[in-house]
Amino acid sequence: MRLITCGLPYANGKAHIGHLRTYIPADVYVRYLRLMGEKVLFICGSDCHGTPIVVNAEKEGIEPRKLVDRYHEHFKKVFAAVGVEFDFFGRTDSDYHHEMTTNFVKRLIDNGYVYSKEIELAYCPNCKRFLPDRYVEGICPYCGAIARGDECDQGCGRYLEPGEIKEPRCKICGTKAEFRKQKHYFFKLTAFKDFLLDYLEKLKGTENALNYAKQWVRQELKDWCITRNLEWGVKFPGEDLVVYVWVDAPIGYISYTREACKEKGCDWEQIWIKGVRKEGEIRWANITHFIGLDIVYHHCIFWPAMLKAADFALPSAVVASGMVKVEGKTFSKSRGYVVWVEDDYLKAGFDPDYLRYYIVNYTSHQKDLNFSWKVFMDKVNNELIANLGNFIYRVLHFAWKNFGGDVWDLVNSDEVLDDQVVEAIEKARDEIVKALEEWEFKVASDAFMELASFGNNYFQSREPWELIKKDRGECAKVMANCLHLVKALVILSYPVLPFSMSKVADFIGLKDFSFDDVSKFEKVRVVKKPKLPFKKVEEEKIEEMERIMLERIRKAEEKEKASKSEYVTIDEFKKLDIRVGRIVKAEKIKKSRKLIRLEVDIGGEVRQIVAGIAETYEPEELVGKLVVVLTNMKPAKLMGVESQGMLLAADVDGKAVLLMPEREVPPGSKVR
RNA sequence: GCCGAGGUAGCCUAGCUGGUUGGGGCGCCUGACUCAUAAUCAGGAGGUCGGGGGUUCGAAUCCCCCCCUCGGCACCA
């Protein structure tokens, strides 16, 4: 039994075209393997833990599980709708997964690969808890931008070590966080450097994944903190901590396999523990991981090290899909360059097979894929329909109309197939088999498109529409060849186009087919009135989709503008010259209710400042006090008196309460 | 900055252990045909193979420099 997995979708948002770039090729691959007679288990499931889910659930005021329920069901629905058929689709917040993870972690501990260490972590005194990952917000010590979690994602992009972030604040309540020591657990990743170097040399898969991983391992590995301060997650044995989500998520592959095996009656330990063969230090399992480029590190480094440490067998291949672009621009949910599978694609009524074909056929699996509605329409109408669909339909329709679907009465069944037809079919099949070995799904799909093209050529050059008038027998012979081609095309393209080809298979009474049937001689008949296998994509519909996308991009731009003006960059903040000053003189401005005229020493210079604080303060009590002054405020006249600065004060029900330094400082001290 | 992957006609690409006129598909132009979802078939136009230098009898293919795009640079799910 061979295991194929897909990276677990994070149950924190809806499915978009970026997800499908991994799942659809994986599904295509599995369907091909099955047609070739391999026994395959295809599993996946939701990744349900981690801080983003907890943070978002908190924002919505619901339990994390509720949030997870929502997206878990969403993904299940979307996968079914686009024909990605997993044997099992689990979730990591299930009991079976928790049990598996706990046992796995215990094995890591028992084998001596886990140790504890005290580290300093941000702690919110208000919420009375440690702030893991995305719970902290602060200032990047390198560039001064606002940093989120342990990453300066708005500014320099650097990763921040625990304790490095300046002015940490709790993301939930906004309280200033403090650093407190706490014991955490680390996985001895460094112990696996040589092992990983060896493993990565032998691991199969796409180069984009393997090269990255090798480069990382050659540089420097660090031990890996595998615990977090959260309620939501798998409990770390004996502590009030949960295991880091990236520890428990891949273990999902194992727990889902076990559940799938319960249903299918196979042996999960055979797959994950015994493996298929041993080669030096490595015990290989027959497992292929399909993932996105963003999680190569976890699958090629953490994961094999964990498996090795826990005494499991190791995956044999990691296949990483390239990035997705939308209308030529880098994929971005926040900027509107996104195609939501359900809302944009499925609800608009497009055939899922079209998207499958586009994703598989646009370019090599490893390269960037650009999704454009215009290109989508062109590919579907000009390639899928004009070539493949047209050939199938013209053959079925012709045979049905002129022969009632059965051409065999007029054909001597032996020697009826043309050599060139047989050759073309075998060539296409061989190319597909070879392409799949290299995970080149475009090459595979090009092969059956080329066969369809051959079919059109064959049909055109034999002119059955002329033959039918002169020689029905000859015409039947040509059609026998064409029907043979249709059967081959149905089988060879079925993995990419399962919905449409199932329908076509039905027209010719083809059931339970496999690659062996591709070149096998059978008397193919049209058993029911054929219908068009594909419906054309309408130009108006595409224009509508483009409008929707443009509108979304426009809205995103507006939103970004708005949010930008809400934030102040450090440079903008630096423009403000804020200093501590000592009030040397204070008097009420006559005829005013609120204004007090002050003379403030801001370090060698005395400024006249008018402040609206008379409702809260008497002039007498102000003299001698230290206050905070914005000194480069544009001067303005109030009640005829010029104010050359502004006192900073808290607004309490419309009344000013002055900010004062917490201890004696020299006037002129800069505030920052 | 460092590392990786790329830059081949409007678009997607093959070729890259150097060797006859750089292949194919989509689009475009012309013609043919009508069984077919104006589908199909034949023919054609279109490329200084990112730029520069070098090695060689000969380079898209090897070496050097530069430019551009995308991604990664780790405890972020």
As for the ipTM of the complex, it is: 0.89
Task: Name the residue among A135, A101, A109, A111 with its Cα closest to residue A121.
Answer: A135
Torsion angle, CA of A18/A23/A26/A30, rounded to 10 degrees? Answer: -160
Tens digit of each residue's pLDDT (9 = 90 or more) over A88-136:
999 999 999 999 999 999 999 999 999 998 887 778 888 777 777 667 7
Instruction: Tell me the C-alpha distance between A352 and A15, whole Å.
Output: 14
Higher confidence at residue A451 or residue A161?
A451
| Nearest-5° Cα angle at A658, A653 to A659 | 120
CA of A456 to C1' of B23 (A): 21
Element (H, E) at A292: strand A287-292
| Average pLDDT for chain A | 87
Residue A619 has pLDDT above 80, yes or no: no
Higher confidence at residue A27 or residue A368?
A27
Look up the protein residue whose alpha carbon has the minimum distance to the C1' of B39.
A386
Q: How confident is the model at residue A283 (pLDDT cuts 50, 70, 90)?
A: very high
What are the residues whose beta carbons fall under 8 Å from the beta carbon of A446, sequence distance 6 or more? A361
Nearest nucleotide (CA of A220 to C1'): B74
pLDDT of residue A156: 47
Q: How confident is the model at residue A141 (pLDDT cuts 50, 70, 90)?
A: low
Nearest nucleotide (CA of A50 to C1'): B77
CA of A443 to C1' of B15 (A): 15
pLDDT of residue A560: 67
Residue A568 has pLDDT above 60, yes or no: no
Nearest-10 crossing angle of helices A64-81, A51-60: 110
* Over residues A226-235, mean pLDDT: 91
The string of DSSP codes covering A100-161 is HHHHHHHHHHHTT-EEEEEEEEEEETTTTEE--GGGEEEE-TTT--EEETTB-TTTT--B--
CA of A363 to C1' of B65 (A): 32
pLDDT of residue A157: 47
- Name the token pair of A248: 């428990």
Nucleotides of B strand lying within 7 Å of any protein CB atom: 3-6, 11-14, 25-27, 34-37, 39-42, 70-77
- In this structure, of A170-174, A406-410, A539-543, the range with the lowest mean pLDDT score is A170-174
- % residues pLDDT > 90 (chain A): 55
User: CA end-to-end span of chain A, whole Å?
Assistant: 64
Residue A333 has pLDDT above 80, yes or no: yes
Look up the protein residue whose alpha carbon has the minimum distance to the C1' of B73.
A216
Residue A153 has pLDDT above 60, yes or no: no
AA letter at A2: R
Look up the protein residue whose alpha carbon has the minimum distance to the C1' of B13.
A363
Tens digit of each residue's pLDDT (9 = 90 or more) over A70-94:
999 999 999 999 999 999 999 999 9
AA letter at A108: L
Instruction: Tell me the C-alpha distance between A237 and A493, whole Å.
Output: 49
Nearest nucleotide (CA of A10 to C1'): B77
- Name the token pair of A662: 């917490």
- In this structure, of A129-138, A249-258, A377-386, the range with the lowest mean pLDDT score is A129-138
pLDDT of residue A133: 65
CA of A328 to C1' of B67 (A): 21
Q: What is the Cα Rg of chain A in Å?
A: 34
* Over residues A195-214, mean pLDDT: 87
